[in-house]
Each structure stands twice: as C-alpha cells, then as structure tokens.
Structure 1
Amino acid sequence: MRESKNAQAPKYNAQHYKNVFCDGDLKALNQTEDEKSLLTLIESWLERTPGLKSTSGDEGFWDKYEKSVKRYLSDLAKQAEDPSNSEDIAKQLLAEYHKTSDAFQSILDPRQHEQHIRNGNRLLSHDATKGAMMIYFYRDMPRFSQPYQLLTFLMDIDSLFTKWRYNHVLLVQRMLGAKQGTGGSSGYMYLRSTVSDRYKVFLDLFNLSTWLIPREYIPS
C-alpha cells in the first residue's frame, strides 16, 4: 500500500502545514488533495499505451523487450568472459555486467518494482513504467512523437522547480548562512534537502535511461 499524500510533508512551525490556513483556503486545499493529481492521471494514461500487452496471439512490447534484454545481457557476459581480455579488463567488464544485470532485474521483476515504490524510490506503477519505456524506445515513430514530447515537458517542470529551489538555496546561504529559517525549519540545510530526488514528481521519467538498450537490440 502506498504512503498517503501527506506522509512526508515537512512541518511548518513544528506543526502540520494545514494548520496555518484559514477555513476558506483550507477547504480549497483539501479539495485539490481529494482530486486526482497530474501524476495519477499520467500514470493511468501510460498504463493504456497501445501495443504494450499481447493481443490475439501477438507478443506485446514488454515480452519482446524482456527477450531483447536477456540477449543484451548475454552478449555483455560473453564480452566479460572473452579469454583475450586482460585480468583487469575482465574484472571491470564482469563488474559492469553484474551491475547492469541487477539494474534491469529491478525493472523486469514486478515485485522488485513494487518494493522500490514502497521505499519511495519510484512513483509510477509497473505498467505505467512499461508504457513510458515503450514511448521512449519508439519516439521517432509518428504514433509516439507527441507522447514523448509530453513526457519531456513533464520532466521540464521538475527541472525548472529544481533550478528555482537551487537558486533559492544559494540566496538563503548568502543572506542567512546557517541561521534558523522561517517556519521553524533549519534554513539552509532544509532548503538544500529540497533539491534532492525526493521532491521530483516525475522522478521515474528521469530514470528511464537506466533501462535503455542499444538500438540494435530494440525489438521491431
């Protein structure tokens, strides 16, 4: 079960942030929190990506992708085990193979993916992540061109927020140093933490490149 929306919300003056709003504003705030978020809508949309699942006996994208990943990892293992490699090169290639294999396993195994969601490292469902990856792989096709642009714009939102926060962090450090901030926060130290991945709404989209495979392995 996923965490509630407010589980990780920072305190304001050592109390819940909602306590500082008047009744009218609080009503509007609660209404927005009861509505579906943009992330939830994007997740539902990605889960409906056409061609993702098998239909009428034809393999869907994900089945083909799993086979391509296995072939890619097999080729990496063969490179690492090549007897012509020096001992140092063999160790380096073998370490790279294991690291890459573990990374792909974390996305191929639905249970590992769900565990990452529970840990707060991922936000999108497994099916939504599959849809996003399919769009990334085939972004040059007319069918997926606009969806890819949409995903790019969503990452731009996070990027611009992060840049604004970072500039704010530098400003506060120059003006206040390590003094306590407003609202009872630790000031600079708290603001610096807001530049982390924890505050990215579309974090999963930034990490998609982790599971991209060379073009020659991409299924048709």
Structure 2
Amino acid sequence: MNHERTPQYYGDYLGIERLLELQKPLSLKEGKLIAHDEMLFIIIHQAYELWFKQILHEITACGEVLSKPEADDDGPDMNVVVHRFKRVVEIWKLLNHQVDVLETMTPLDFLEFRELLHGASGFQSKQFREIEASLGLRMESRFRPDYYKHTELGGFNEKDCAEINEFEQKPSILQMVERWLARAPFFQEEFWSDWSEISAGSAQNGASPFWQRYRTLYEQSLSERDDKPDLLGKFDGIFFQSGWGPFRPAALRAALFIMLYRDEPLFRLPFALLNSLIEIDEQLATFRYRHLQMVRRMIGTRVGTGGSSGEQYLQGAVNRNYIFKELAGVITFLIERCHLPALPSRLHRALRFNFNDR
C-alpha cells in the first residue's frame, strides 16, 4: 500500500457539491420553489441518466468480449459477460421500480410546472437511444422510424442526432451474438459420427441429421390445440431456410440446441447469456409500459411536452420495439426434456468438464 497517497474525501471523490448544484427547477422564483414536485421530477430523471451511463458502460465492456473472433464459451470472458448482463437486468428492475416514486406526484402536481417543459421530452434522452442502438434496435425496426431522429421541436438537437447515428453504425450486441451462435462448433461431423440415432433422419439443407430427428419429435409433441401445419412450416422456415429476422438458420439452431441441453456443463454460461438478453428485452418492455401507464395517468390523451402523440406513440413503442424477440420466440419449438434425443458420446464428453481425461 502506498502510504504517501493523498487521502480521499467522500464528497470530493464523488463530486457531491457539483452534483447537488445540477437541479435547477424552472419554477424557482426569487429563491422560492413554486412547484414543489418539480424537484422530484428533475432528480428522478437525472438518476435515470446516471444509470443509463452505467448500462452503457456494461454493454460496451460486453461488446469488447463478444467481438473477439473466438469467444471462450466456458471461460472467464463469457463468465464476465454473463455477470455484467445480469447486472444490467438488475439495474433495469431498479429503474422500473423508480417509476413508483415518480407516480407519487399527482396530475395536478405535474400541471403546476408542465408548461415550463415545452419542447423537452424523455424522447430526447440520447443515452436511452444509444442503449437501444448498442443492443441492436435499429431505426428501421422501430415504431414510427420517421419520427425517431427528427431535429424539429421535440426532437434531438443536431449534435445528439449525429452521435446516435454514429452509435447505429457500430456492431451491436445482437449482431455479435448472432455471429457467436452461427459459428457454434457442436454440429461438426466429428461429434456425430457415432450417433445411435443417425439412421432416424438424414441431413436437411446442410443441417445435422439431429434436426430431422428433432423435427419429428417436435411434431409428435404438438397437441390437437396447436396449428400443426403452421408451426411445422415456421420450424422449417426458421431452422432450415430463411432464418428469422436478423438471425440465420444456423444461429437459431444453435440457440435452440443450447436451450434444450442447457444442463450440460459447457452450455450453462451460453444459456445464461441468452436468458439474460431475453430478460433485458423484457425489462425494457416493462420500462416502456410503465412509462405509458404513467403518461396515461398524468396527461391522459393530451399531446406530450415534446409534441409527440403521447399515449399513442408510447403504445406503438411498447408493441414494436423489441430487440431479442427471435431468441425468445425459439422457446416455441422446445419439447419436454424426457423426449430429448441422447447426444452422441463424443459430443457428450466435449460438453463436460473432463478432468479425468487429462
């Protein structure tokens, strides 16, 4: 330990004095705060932006690992990625609960200062748009993409708009995960040459014989209530033909395989990664829905302070702006664990921690 280092002081290290000077209510007149709840409104949104900064910090670090040509699926790198994405999930849970505090402000309390906010809107949060872009939500996938990055009243200023555009040009977590899944090695021929069920099905469209066998088992698992032709058509399209959204068939087969055999030791981290991404999407959807509910409560169907259609715009975003919906949709094609085909012995050994083989 370096005993000559200048000791830190709590307030100086955290910049508390500067931080506490950043709340400047517009209803403050001659030293008196006219609208009491404007202080709450400011602090809540500043707290959101601080947490957005932390989320971007975590996503950027995860991207640095996932962008490697060969990410170690069962090593320290993947463990760190999973740990940080789980942290992002917990932060979003906190942000969703923070709405409860904001909702202690009544509609009349909000009206005391709402007109002072004309032109400003949560829509203009640059960091929130950067989070969406870095995860993989592109402009063309959004609800009302024509409205998303406008620079008129209620939109972004030119600087923020340019920086969001720059973020959208970078590889996203969605793209990195798709590439990581597509290069999964567990369908290499060397692992399947001794498979006992190889005669039960043949390769289809370049896929392992496993998938023809699995398709048969999936068909058998469907009940009379299911639309069998529709589901089997989707199965073939997603896993053998065109893929789904930004995911190629090979990537979706890998995602389904990981979900099916998640109890295998070497699949625990990959499964945790996929599950964390689905959870992040769910928390983002909850965040948008809580925002929608709050707007309904505060202003009803009136136009938002930034000039948007308020409730209508937010409802569209809730329904449309999902990022990892294809990963979540893969769950449609699971079968019961007791009906899963036994893995070939070579692959089974490769998916375990084989200390005794050394």
Distance of 1:143 and 1:210 partners within structure 2: 23
What are the Cα deviations for residues 87-144 of structure 1, in whole angstroms up to 9, with x where unaligned?
A: xxxxxx5453xx1342133122359863x74xxxx33221111110011011101110
Q: What is the aligned-residue RMSD (CA, Å)?
A: 3.1
Residue from 338, 341, 344 that aligns with 1:219: 341
Q: From the superposition, tell whether residues 174 and 136 of structure 1 become closer, same or farther in structure 2 (CA, over 3 Å).
A: same
Residue equivalent to 1:139: 262
Residue from 154, 157, 164 that aligns with 1:29: 164
**How far 1:204 moved relative to its partner?**
1.1
Q: From the superposition, tell whether residues 164 and 15 of structure 1 become closer, same or farther in structure 2 (CA, over 3 Å).
A: closer
SS at match of 2:180: helix
Residue equivalent to 2:308: 185
Distance of 1:75 and 1:191 partners within structure 2: 38
Letter paired with 1:32: F
1:70 aligns with 2:198: no
Distance of 2:162 and 2:235 partners within structure 1: 40
Residue equivalent to 1:128: 251
Letter paired with 2:338: E
1:46 aligns with 2:209: no
- Aligned pairs (5 A) from 1:34-183: 34-55=169-190, 58=193, 62-74=208-220, 94=224, 96=226, 99-109=227-237, 114=242, 117=244, 122-183=245-306
Q: From the superposition, tell whether residues 72 and 210 of structure 1 become closer, same or farther in structure 2 (CA, over 3 Å).
A: closer
Which ranges of structure 2 fall in alignment gaps of 5 or more residues? 1-136, 343-358
Percent identity over the alignment is 28
Higher gyration radius (CA): 2
**How far 1:182 moved relative to its partner?**
3.7
Which ranges of structure 1 fall in alignment gaps of 5 or more residues? 77-92
Q: From the superposition, tell whether residues 56 and 213 of structure 1 become closer, same or farther in structure 2 (CA, over 3 Å).
A: closer
TM-score (norm 2): 0.47
Q: CA contact under 8 A between 2:304 and 2:310: conserved in structure 1?
A: yes
Q: From the superposition, tell whether residues 64 and 128 of structure 1 become closer, same or farther in structure 2 (CA, over 3 Å).
A: same
Q: CA contact under 8 A between 1:181 and 1:187: conserved in structure 2?
A: yes
What are the Cα deviations for residues 9-51 of structure 1, in whole angstroms up to 9, with x where unaligned?
A: 4559x75615344454344323211111110001000111221
Q: CA contact under 8 A between 2:139 and 2:148: conserved in structure 1?
A: no
Distance of 2:312 and 2:283 partners within structure 1: 20
SS at match of 1:207: helix
Q: Which has the higher contact order (CA 8 A, sep 6+)?
A: 1
36-45 or 176-185, larger mean C-alpha shift: 176-185
1:7 aligns with 2:140: yes
SS at match of 1:157: helix
**How far 1:159 moved relative to its partner?**
1.2
TM-score (norm 1): 0.73
